[in-house]
Structure 1
Amino acid sequence: MTNIQQKSTLTRLVQLLFNRKHLLVLSLLGAIIQVALTVYIPVLIGNAINQVIAEGQVNFDNLKPILLRMGIVILLNAFIQWLNPLLYNKMTFETVQGLRQDVLNKLHSVPLNYIDQHSTGDLVSRISTDAEQLSDGINMIFNQFLVGILTIVVTVITMGKLDLVMMFLVVCLTPLSLLVARFIANRSYKYFRYQTLTRGVQSQIVEESIQQGELVRLFNTHEKTTEDFVKANNEYMENSQKAIFYSSITAPTTRFINAMIYAVITFFGAVRILRGTFSVGELTTFLNYANQYTKPFNDISNVLSELQSALACAERLFDVIDQVDEVETGHAKLNDSTIQGKVNFNKVAFSYVEHQPLIEDLTLSVKPGMRVAIVGPTGAGKSTLINLLMRFYDLNSGQILLDDQPTTDFTRESVRAQFGMVLQETWLKSGTIHDNIAYGYPNATRELVIEAAKAAHADHFIRQLPNGYDTLVTDGGDSLAQGQRQLLSIARIFVKVPHMLILDEATSSIDTRTEILIQEAFNSLMEGRTSFVIAHRLSTIQTADLILVMNQGKIIEQGNHHNLMQMKGFYYQMQQTRQSVD
């Protein structure tokens, strides 16, 4: 990230903080009061010392009010220092909470190709780890950077009022530590950025290896998975070590420089005391100020190191937020009561990757109520056809018409609401069995959910669970068998019967007996409804009104089972191969 990008990211963070003006004002006011009290204490200490070392006696009359004032200032300062972090934390966590929510909302609105291009582990790392690290960085800005800057300014003004010569001595020497810190911070930034990138890769490998643990064991890929993790872990370790090394040498280097400055100021102050132009109390005050003046530089140097890491994390979060939303081409909504189910593909062209066409010049007409089976080898474009129909991806050219109206004239939400979809890969959310069946229809009654489960032949096994429909499902339903998870996914479609159906190997993980029962339910459900079925089993394909044979993104054959078998073309060869395998 260039300096311009860093400044842009920092500016955006400041703008986010300004969205909480009341907290920001209170934080600034609290920081000013804290600094003013902190700077005032050395003045009182110097005055007290001058009363103690006066010639011949201790001036108790003048010392008592000074000590009383010191006590009040110290107590008040302690209260302010307790209150300020509460304000800083509240503002920081609310800001990062909003930023994290914006990132998650954006992930729900970006085109699906952005999700496809980024690993789940990397996106999860941005929302969790990067957001947390950014929160730590912002907290340091207020706890150390802001207070440090104010301390420097107020201390310089106060020293100038006390003694200009000593002030110039302190001011001229102390910035040396900041220059050294900035030199080191510039070199540590790139390693902090590499650290966040490799952490995302590491999170991806860990997530995949845990979620797909059975697959790893099945194919005995422990060693390969371990090697990949070791490589990513080593890269993360190396980048982390370099980043931490550069950031860790900042504090000791600046402390050494500050100690040398402290010694020089003490020497010059002692010389002036011997000459009678300076008092011991004033030297004590200036030594306290030298320490107060140099300490913020140490804090600022630490913040500069952490700020590099925080900016790198913020950049990754803003990268998601800056993505272009999925463009809504239409604003009309489909009228559920008038949907017939006629679907036309008119010279459709589509590709996932530019200059690598998948579907070209696809034309297809499906009449209302037709049952369409889509077959073909892996990668032929079967699922892509469904994705385009559901408007998960936009066409490169051509049109898809629903009841002779381009689907782009309607909102995506209203188009997708017309379809019920069951995929081969099941997905369950964390919640109860009831919640999972009613997913998308949270107001569904228990009676409606039970009827849907019975239609999907899932009611029997659900009632055998410890809490029936209130049984909690966690970890994507790992506690359930694959077939049971698929039955729950099928039950969703029966909660609110749609106008059109899409079934993508919907019964692939179900036993033969249950599949026959489910198929009977589907046959009843598909009666009079336009249905698209991706299937490999002959029993499912034979009953279709229209079979589309796809290969390399094109429909190479179409017709019913009897006609296609008589053609003895690609479809015939597929069926012969399956029968020989069976």
Structure 2
Amino acid sequence: MSGTQQAEQRRGPMGGGRGPFGGMGQPVQKAQNFGPSAKRLLGTLKPDATLLVVVVLLGAISVALNVMGPKLLGAATNVVVAGFASLQFKNLPPGTTQQQIIDGLRATGHTQQADLLSGMTFTPGAGIDFPQLALILTGVLALYVFASLFAYLQARLLNGIVQRGMHRLRTQVEDKVHRLPLSYYDSVQRGELLSRVTNDVDNIGQSLQQTISQVVISLLTVVGVMIMMFTISPLLAVIALVTIPLTLLVTVVVARRSQKLFIAQWKATGTLNARVEETYSGHAIVKVFGHQKEVEQDFRGENEAVYKASFGAQFVSGIIMPAMQFIGNLVYVAIAVVGGIQVANGVISIGDVQAFIQYSRQFTQPLAQLGSMMNLLQSGVASAERVFELLDERDETPEPDEAETAEEDAATLEFDGVDFRYIADKPLIHDLNLTAEPGSTVAIVGPTGAGKTTLVNLIMRFYDVDAGTIALDGVDTRRMTRADLRARTGMVLQDTWLFSGTIRENIAYGRPDATEEEIVQAATAAYVDRFVHALPDGYDTMLDDDASNLSMGERQLVTIARAFLADPRILILDEATSSVDTRTELLIQRAMSRLRADRTSFVIAHRLSTIRDAHLILVMENGGIVEQGDHDQLLAAKGAYWRLYNAQFEGAAEEESGTVPAGMPAARAAGAPAVGGA
């Protein structure tokens, strides 16, 4: 399937654009399986595999120390209980042993008491052994201190691993964004793309940060506690193991349901972000056409979709923790009952039962934590799927293995039998032949959709031709690197783009090493110098994200100055003067005439008066050139250009004379198509 076909398939209900600034669509959401996505996500941490082993070892040491704690506390309980038990027999003759006491109790029919005493060790009449108790409690304190220290080291090390992994992932996403073909940007909403690059990547980092450590600790704790439980009482350990299949059953059932909801949540979030970004960028248009209510209604609907998906995902995944706690409480009751019976029969000591109950809590708690971590993990994997979809998108056509280059001063562009289409079965440009000589100005005019902007997009290799060649001084541009081709080309668009920074920095964007004198010369040629001194800080005036402290015309002049400073061999002006007044436009045209002596210029213009001096005027209709020549030749031919010219310059006179009813466009009365964008 071709790239254009793929782009067409991705176009959503909002429509697909043609060219770099066309309409935006919404990509089809196709979720991957949880397992492969989670495995690939963990693969982002592979460069730190050695450190991950250290993390596991630190976690194992911390868990081992923590697991030993209840056993020692049980021993302390045995010391206290045995001490109190020994005090009951302090009046017995010296030298009486524990076994003699137990035998005496059995002989007198106190079998249950004898069984209870047989489960402990004491010296009759000795009382509590406080030195031994102090030693045990000191050991417990040391265990927990060192366990906390190792846990801290593990958390600190893991934080670095995760953050480095997210740094690499962000770098991959950034690199991918620059490798994507323009057709991808034509088919995806800007807010949706930004949501994947920012929100989803941040959510992945938070999910990994919160889940990896907990999962490692929980799994190690389950293993360690299980070993300790079997050493205390195999019977009680078997009872505790009942929680594992129940936990797995609940987790799997809930996970299958919640994973779909998390995917829907992040998809809905991306759609909402796209709506907010689109509305914010075009808020003036929304107000002009009175569409506030419609926008608010759309926002409420999409916000409601985010709410429902988020609520459903969190609610369903939140069921896991209460379910785990319920299962843990049932096991706790069973252990307490069976353990009490075993203590009464002298099978195990009270301290061991106490330790086992603690272990049962330690056993069910990590299982419950694993279950509760599933909602975070699922949310992270759902975001990872969306990021991986972006990373898996088809790159633009790769650069040639052995790239060619044209001469340094190359400026001849030749179109030879060029065919191009955005949609497979809808040709746009067919068999286009054109030669633009150095120092010439080629003007392109025609009705909306004729292919004017598409033509310059092909020159810049924003898209590659389907057939034919575009050659720069005999070198096929597809055999050149895009960087080499675009370094020779300057482009000024109707939609101005300025970044946050000073006016000086914006002008020098194409040539960061330009001197102050060169910047001022370019600004003077584009008539920026005329207004910049009226600003508070002159060339050092800071522009915000939208450059709202400049008028639309001033912003366009800055972009023109930027193109002048770059001094390209090929200059493309796509309605570049549409936002400036007529006088300034004429002045800019004169300045360009002086600057374009040895360069090739392509001009797309609506106002035909601005291209009278062009060396060659191309009239395009339906993707082909229907007429070409200079201004006088085309007017004399009385063809398509003549109709366009009359539609613009005779309409006003006809309306004043009454030939055209007031309010009716002259172009419609003349039967000519209106001149529009590409």
TM-score, normalised relative to structure 2: 0.83
Distance (whole Å) between structure 2 residues aligned to residue 6 and residue 194 of structure 1: 14
Alignment-derived partner of residue 569 in structure 1: 639
Question: Is 1:425 equivalent to 2:453 in the alignment?
Answer: no
Question: Is 1:391 equivalent to 2:391 in the alignment?
Answer: no
Matching residue within 424, 435, 443 for 2:513: 443
3-state secondary structure, aligned to 1:257: helix
From the two aligned structures, give the one with the greater helix fraction.
Answer: 1
3-state secondary structure, aligned to 2:385: helix
Task: Letter of the 1:34 partner, please give it.
Answer: S
1:451, CA displacement in angstroms? 1.8
Task: Letter of the 1:290 partner, please give it.
Answer: S
Alignment-derived partner of residue 40 in structure 2: 12
Per-residue CA distance 1:96-139 (angstroms, 9 max, x = gap): 12212211210111111111111110111011111111112112
Alignment-derived partner of residue 522 in structure 1: 592
Alignment-derived partner of residue 499 in structure 1: 569
Distance (whole Å) between structure 2 residues aligned to residue 223 and residue 522 of structure 1: 46
Q: How many percent of aligned residue pairs carry the same amino acid?
A: 40
1:336, CA displacement in angstroms? 4.9
1:10, CA displacement in angstroms? 1.7
Per-residue CA distance 1:460-511 (angstroms, 9 max, x = gap): 3222222222222221312211111111101111213111211111111112
Alignment-derived partner of residue 122 in structure 1: 192
1:543, CA displacement in angstroms? 0.8
Alignment-derived partner of residue 32 in structure 1: 60
Distance (whole Å) between structure 1 residues aligned to residue 173 and residue 540 of structure 2: 32
3-state secondary structure, aligned to 1:503: strand
From the CA coordinates, give the structure whose radius of gyration is larger: 2
1:386, CA displacement in angstroms? 0.1
Distance 1:208 1:157, change over 3 A: same
Alignment of 1:189-208 (within 5 A): 189-208=259-278
Alignment-derived partner of residue 332 in structure 1: 403
Distance (whole Å) between structure 2 residues aligned to residue 516 and residue 556 of structure 1: 28
Alignment-derived partner of residue 603 in structure 2: 533
Matching residue within 302, 308, 315 for 1:232: 302
Matching residue within 288, 292, 299 for 2:358: 288
Question: Is 1:411 equivalent to 2:439 in the alignment?
Answer: no
1:4, CA displacement in angstroms? 7.0
Question: Is 1:463 equivalent to 2:533 in the alignment?
Answer: yes
Distance (whole Å) between structure 1 residues aligned to residue 175 and residue 384 of structure 2: 16
1:161, CA displacement in angstroms? 2.3
3-state secondary structure, aligned to 1:142: helix
Task: Letter of the 2:175 partner, please give it.
Answer: N
Per-residue CA distance 1:418-455 (angstroms, 9 max, x = gap): 11211111000122212111113222222221221111
Gaps of 5+ in 1: none
Aligned residues of 1:112 and 1:392 also touching (Cα < 8 A): yes
Alignment-derived partner of residue 583 in structure 2: 513
Distance (whole Å) between structure 2 residues aligned to residue 150 and residue 471 of structure 1: 59
Alignment-derived partner of residue 443 in structure 2: 373
Alignment-derived partner of residue 152 in structure 1: 222
Matching residue within 30, 37, 51 for 2:79: 51
Distance (whole Å) between structure 1 residues aligned to residue 549 and residue 379 of structure 2: 40
Distance (whole Å) between structure 2 residues aligned to residue 206 and residue 329 of structure 1: 37
Aligned residues of 1:349 and 1:395 also touching (Cα < 8 A): yes
Task: Letter of the 1:37 partner, please give it.
Answer: L
Per-residue CA distance 1:64-117 (angstroms, 9 max, x = gap): 111111111121222233333222222212211221221121011111111111
Distance (whole Å) between structure 2 residues aligned to residue 325 and residue 174 of structure 1: 46
Task: Letter of the 1:239 partner, please give it.
Answer: A
Aligned residues of 1:178 and 1:297 also touching (Cα < 8 A): no
Question: Is 1:263 equivalent to 2:333 in the alignment?
Answer: yes
The aligned length equals 581
Task: Letter of the 2:76 partner, please give it.
Answer: A
Distance (whole Å) between structure 2 residues aligned to residue 173 and residue 295 of structure 1: 11
1:22, CA displacement in angstroms? 4.4
1:312, CA displacement in angstroms? 1.0
Task: Letter of the 1:289 partner, please give it.
Answer: Y
Alignment-derived partner of residue 163 in structure 2: 93
Distance (whole Å) between structure 2 residues aligned to residue 43 and residue 467 of structure 1: 74
Task: Letter of the 1:397 partner, please give it.
Answer: A
Matching residue within 89, 93, 103 for 2:173: 103
Aligned residues of 1:188 and 1:243 also touching (Cα < 8 A): yes
Distance (whole Å) between structure 2 residues aligned to residue 334 and residue 525 of structure 1: 24
Matching residue within 273, 276, 293 for 1:223: 293
- RMSD over aligned Cα atoms: 1.7
Alignment of 1:312-331 (within 5 A): 312-330=382-400, 331=402
Distance (whole Å) between structure 1 residues aligned to residue 39 and residue 233 of structure 2: 38
Distance (whole Å) between structure 1 residues aligned to residue 58 and residue 201 of structure 2: 26
Aligned residues of 1:39 and 1:154 also touching (Cα < 8 A): yes
Alignment-derived partner of residue 148 in structure 2: 78
1:351, CA displacement in angstroms? 1.3
Per-residue CA distance 1:176-211 (angstroms, 9 max, x = gap): 133212211211110110011110000001011111
3-state secondary structure, aligned to 1:20: helix
Matching residue within 69, 72, 79 for 2:139: 69
1:369, CA displacement in angstroms? 2.2
Per-residue CA distance 1:282-323 (angstroms, 9 max, x = gap): 011111110001011111111222222111100111111122
Alignment-derived partner of residue 122 in structure 2: none
3-state secondary structure, aligned to 1:392: coil
3-state secondary structure, aligned to 1:361: strand
Distance (whole Å) between structure 2 residues aligned to residue 477 and residue 260 of structure 1: 65
Distance (whole Å) between structure 2 residues aligned to residue 74 and residue 176 of structure 1: 31
1:174, CA displacement in angstroms? 4.3
Distance (whole Å) between structure 1 residues aligned to residue 252 and residue 457 of structure 2: 52
Per-residue CA distance 1:366-415 (angstroms, 9 max, x = gap): 22322111000111100000000111101111111111221111111111
Gaps of 5+ in 2: 1-28, 87-126, 653-678
Aligned residues of 2:34 and 2:381 also touching (Cα < 8 A): yes
Stretches of 4+ moved more than 4 A in 1? 1-4
Task: Letter of the 2:168 partner, please give it.
Answer: G
Distance 1:304 1:373, change over 3 A: same
Distance (whole Å) between structure 2 residues aligned to residue 550 and residue 61 of structure 1: 101
Distance 1:3 1:420, change over 3 A: closer
Per-residue CA distance 1:260-285 (angstroms, 9 max, x = gap): 11111111100111111011100111
Aligned residues of 1:343 and 1:402 also touching (Cα < 8 A): yes
Distance (whole Å) between structure 1 residues aligned to residue 30 and residue 535 of structure 2: 57
1:338, CA displacement in angstroms? 4.2
Between 497-506 and 463-472, report the one with greater CA deviation. Answer: 463-472
3-state secondary structure, aligned to 1:19: helix
Task: Letter of the 1:29 partner, please give it.
Answer: L
